[in-house]
Amino acid sequence: MNFVKKTIVQVRKEIATKGTWSGLLVPNKVNQFHFLDGWHLGHEASFSTLEELETHVNSMLYYMERELGNRVAFYKLRGN
């Protein structure tokens, strides 16, 4: 599968303009193979408010193993 990486600024903008954002969240150092295969480290999420986004990202950062990354990466399937 082909994924397009989005920044948190792009995600925030889409929530503000479209009212929602849906995509895949993963730790930033994870290889794309492990998003939906391998270790299955990516998970689908949908946000309709900036507060939901910030709460989810902060929770993910708290529990994330440091060797997997130090930030949350956002991805959309190419064509979506």
**Is the pLDDT at 80 greater than 80, yes or no?**
no
- In terms of Cβ atoms closer than 10 Å to its own Cβ (0-12, 13-18, 19+), residue 47 is buried
Average pLDDT, integer, range 37-63: 95
Q: Which domain holds residue 51?
A: 3-77
Residue found under tokens 């730790």: 27
The pLDDT, as a whole number, for residue 1 is 67
User: Structural domain tally of the chain?
Assistant: 1
The pLDDT, as a whole number, for residue 2 is 85
pTM flag (> 0.75) = yes
pLDDT in tens, 51-78: 999 999 999 999 999 999 999 999 998 7
User: Rg for the chain (alpha carbons), in Å?
Assistant: 12
Return the amino acid letter for 63.
Y
